[in-house]
Chain A
Amino acid sequence: MSAAAEKAMAYDNKGILGTLGREGLLQIILVANTALMLFPVVIMIFSGFKSNMEIFNQPFAIPDFTNLTNYVKVWTQTNFARYLFNSVFVTGLSIGLILVLGTMAAYAIARYEFFGSNIILLFFLAGLTLPLKLAIIPLFILFRDMGILNTYWALIAVYVAMGLPSTVFIMTSFIRTLPRELEDAARMDGASELRIMVSVLLPLCRPALVISAIHNLVPIWNDFFFPLVFIQNDALKTLPQGLTSFMGEYTTDWGVMFAGLTLAAAPITIVYIILSKQFINGMTSGALK
């Protein structure tokens, strides 16, 4: 074969991008990314079914899924159920308050023209740029003086403050996209401002509410820092903080630990899956005209 023919063949070789196309390449990257992301989760779930010995001998082996000793131990011999309740209570109440307060603030900012409405929006947005952890000492002193240290309310107050800026921001921009004539129509129909918000606006805001909820749910559920500082009472600890007590000074039952982690991750994963479905439905069905 001549050098020229070889060169021509080299040009015929289209390369990965040429063979798979842009979409194909994207798929490969996404699949690889998914595998990379899921790998630790899978190991966590597997390890929940293994004893300490098995984990150290065959870390990647597929376990016997009928062996539920670790799960039974988590439920019966630790404070797990209590931590789970605390987490659900604190997270649920925080998200609820964030959505209610955030939507009300956003509705007022988006729809009523009053002096300083923009300043209030900017004030909320400033909260996005503020790392709350920097304020931990003043917060500690404040909560101590208010007497809510070592209670749920310390956590809920911080989480609501943390969640409001992004929620107000998301909801304000969303409400501004809704046609004003809808509210005018409801006003002509005799609806009070509260009724307009509840019966007309909220159902239309569902996609944005879901975005805000997802956006806040994961960081609050996973938060370790604030419970660590504010909560000393074992009965009030949330899951991330409570699970650390499974780690002993000299020995740790890794199997029980992973079983606990799996159980801790399960609710949030399920909620996330349900909400993202809702979110996609909302995106496609909210069309007005």
Chain B
Amino acid sequence: MARLTLRNVKKRFKETEVLHGIDLEIRDREFVVFVGPSGCGKSTLLRLIAGLDPITEGSFHLNERMMNDVAPSKRGIAMVFQSYALYPHMDVYENMAFGVRLMGLPKEEIESRISEAARMLKMEELLKRKPRELSGGQRQRVAIGRALVRKPEVFLLDEPLSNLDAALRSEVRLEIAKLHREIGGTMIYVTHDQIEAMTLADKIVVMNNGRVEQVGSPRQLFEKPANSFVGTFIGSPKMTLVDVSRSGNRLGIADGGSVPLDELPDKTPHLKLGVRPDALTVKREAEDGFTASVVYTEYLGDDSYVYARLADGTLVAIRTHPNDIFEPDEAVRINLNGSPVHFFDAESGQRLEPSAVAAH
């Protein structure tokens, strides 16, 4: 059992406040991913949960127990660091044994835990090696193993894949997902990579500028982003935000054409239209739609992405059939293809729910 509750958690370094009141509920056995751009405070929040930095204000409870002033090792939490932080002068066995020895476990227990972790992570033959004799992926596994042997209730992983090359990254990502299923602890994972977040998480916490922007399942975040930041952060290529004005059931750009919609938010004359690449079509000749000029086409095999500039200068990405190759500077018309689009308030960027527009 591990339930984490954060209430109005704030962190100040001297005068600068880096976390402005975080409220968060994490359930037992949940795989939670903190995601956000660099400097958004996600690693800081992780360090507060680990106990490596003190919480300035607010409270953190683990299973109803106040943890603010409990030492890191007494919280039942283990952490995998971004640089792995393996002790360079100890071999793999010693690296894993260091923590459990300090827990005061009997010798047989230590040995059985280490051999179990080594078996689970397939590194039995590495136990006598020093960290410098290991490859990046092996070091990563040792770092996870070191956390594993402590049998913690909560695992914290701080950007564990950022030092691996692309091919290894997806492999280790799968291993982490598998590990979570096998050991079943609560995992908190920090990353700036939204693909890692989408593929691993039960629940994603999107952070920006020391605030939580939205908490939800990957599907919720993708389909119903709470604001324009979440909308553009989740999904690749990212969602385009177009500043549009409403007139009847049409949304238009000044001197840049307009598109018709069946559902629109009420009453707001100005708003932001959020469209993902697969919600758009691009045509050379069409009566209707936004006018745009092609910047370049990205050919990816399965798909092509056309990047075009609208009349107001916004760069928009459109997914097309791979055989539709558009030349730079071609004049095109861009239309909606009926897939869901998102509306955000022009000033606050908050999500606006649409409703059916009465026919004119």
* A interface residues (Cβ-Cβ under 8 A, vs B): 179, 181-182, 184-191, 195, 199-200, 203-204, 285-289
> In the complex, which of the residues B82, B85, B146 has the most CB atoms of chain A within 10 Å of its own CB atom?
B85
Min C-beta distance of B286 to chain A, whole Å: 55
Between A and B, 23 residue pairs with Cβ closer than 8 Å are A179-B85, A181-B81, A181-B82, A181-B85, A184-B47, A184-B50, A184-B52, A184-B85, A185-B79, A186-B87, A187-B73, A188-B79, A189-B73, A189-B102, A190-B71, A190-B73, A190-B99, A190-B102, A191-B98, A191-B102, A203-B89, A285-B132, A289-B83
List 19 additional A-B contacts (Cβ < 8 Å) besides A185-B86, A191-B73, A287-B88.
A181-B81, A184-B85, A185-B79, A185-B81, A185-B146, A186-B98, A188-B50, A188-B72, A188-B73, A188-B79, A189-B73, A190-B71, A191-B98, A200-B87, A203-B89, A204-B89, A285-B132, A286-B88, A288-B131
Q: Which one of A184, A188, A195, A288 lies within 8 Å of B88 (CB-CB)?
A: A288
Neighbouring A residues of B72 by C-beta, 8 Å: 187-188, 190
Min C-beta distance of B201 to chain A, whole Å: 23
Nearest A residue to B99 via CB reads: A189
B85 touches A199 (CB 8 A): no
Nearest B residue to A285 via CB reads: B132
Q: Is B177 part of the contact surface with A, judged by Cβ < 8 Å? A: no
A188 touches B132 (CB 8 A): no
A204 touches B88 (CB 8 A): yes
Min C-beta distance of A253 to chain B, whole Å: 51
B73 touches A181 (CB 8 A): no
Nearest A residue to B150 via CB reads: A189
Q: Which one of A181, A191, A285 lies within 8 Å of B83 (CB-CB)?
A: A181
Min C-beta distance of B100 to chain A, whole Å: 8
5 interchain residue pairs of minimum CB distance = A190-B73, A189-B99, A181-B85, A185-B85, A190-B102
Q: Is B103 part of the contact surface with A, judged by Cβ < 8 Å? A: yes
Q: Give A187 to B53 CA distance when docked, in angstroms.
A: 11
- In B176-212, the 8 Å CB interface with A consists of none
Neighbouring A residues of B239 by C-beta, 8 Å: none
Neighbouring B residues of A289 by C-beta, 8 Å: 83, 163
Neighbouring B residues of A288 by C-beta, 8 Å: 83, 88, 131-132
Neighbouring A residues of B98 by C-beta, 8 Å: 186, 189, 191, 199
* B interface residues (Cβ-Cβ under 8 A, vs A): 47, 50, 52, 71-74, 77-79, 81-83, 85-89, 98-99, 102-103, 131-132, 146, 150, 163
Q: Give A141 to B276 CA distance when docked, in angstroms.
A: 84
A182 touches B99 (CB 8 A): no
Secondary structure call for the A interface: helix
> In the complex, which of the residues A182, A189, A195, A289 has the most CB atoms of chain B within 10 Å of its own CB atom?
A189
Neighbouring A residues of B73 by C-beta, 8 Å: 187-191
Neighbouring B residues of A199 by C-beta, 8 Å: 98
Nearest B residue to A202 via CB reads: B89
B99 touches A188 (CB 8 A): yes
Q: Give A182 to B74 CA distance when docked, in angstroms.
A: 18
Task: From known contacts A190-B73, A195-B102, A199-B98, infer whether A182 and B85 are also in contact, taking CB-CB under 8 Å.
Answer: yes
Neighbouring A residues of B89 by C-beta, 8 Å: 203-204
Neighbouring A residues of B85 by C-beta, 8 Å: 179, 181-182, 184-185
Q: Give A287 to B139 CA distance when docked, in angstroms.
A: 14
> In the complex, which of the residues A285, A287, A288 has the most CB atoms of chain B within 10 Å of its own CB atom?
A288
Q: Give A182 to B146 CA distance when docked, in angstroms.
A: 13
A188 touches B52 (CB 8 A): yes
Q: Give A185 to B77 CA distance when docked, in angstroms.
A: 12
Min C-beta distance of A182 to chain B, whole Å: 5
Min C-beta distance of B12 to chain A, whole Å: 13
Neighbouring B residues of A287 by C-beta, 8 Å: 88, 132
Q: Give A80 to B359 CA distance when docked, in angstroms.
A: 113
Nearest A residue to B53 via CB reads: A184
Neighbouring B residues of A204 by C-beta, 8 Å: 88-89
Nearest A residue to B73 via CB reads: A190
Nearest A residue to B78 via CB reads: A188
Q: Give A190 to B131 CA distance when docked, in angstroms.
A: 21
Min C-beta distance of B256 to chain A, whole Å: 50
Q: Give A199 to B81 CA distance when docked, in angstroms.
A: 19
Q: Give A25 to B233 CA distance when docked, in angstroms.
A: 62
Q: Give A52 to B329 CA distance when docked, in angstroms.
A: 100
Q: Give A203 to B98 CA distance when docked, in angstroms.
A: 14
Q: Give A185 to B52 CA distance when docked, in angstroms.
A: 9
B102 touches A187 (CB 8 A): no
Q: Give A242 to B71 CA distance when docked, in angstroms.
A: 56
Neighbouring B residues of A203 by C-beta, 8 Å: 89
Neighbouring A residues of B88 by C-beta, 8 Å: 204, 286-288
Q: Give A200 to B132 CA distance when docked, in angstroms.
A: 16
Task: From known contacts A190-B73, A190-B103, infer whether A184 and B132 are also in contact, taking CB-CB under 8 Å.
Answer: no
Neighbouring A residues of B50 by C-beta, 8 Å: 184, 188
Q: Give A188 to B150 CA distance when docked, in angstroms.
A: 10
Min C-beta distance of A239 to chain B, whole Å: 36
Neighbouring A residues of B132 by C-beta, 8 Å: 285, 287-288
Q: Give A181 to B78 CA distance when docked, in angstroms.
A: 13
Min C-beta distance of B16 to chain A, whole Å: 14
Neighbouring A residues of B74 by C-beta, 8 Å: 190
Min C-beta distance of B44 to chain A, whole Å: 13
> In the complex, which of the residues A181, A185, A285 has the most CB atoms of chain B within 10 Å of its own CB atom?
A185
Min C-beta distance of A203 to chain B, whole Å: 4
Min C-beta distance of A30 to chain B, whole Å: 32
Q: Give A182 to B163 CA distance when docked, in angstroms.
A: 16
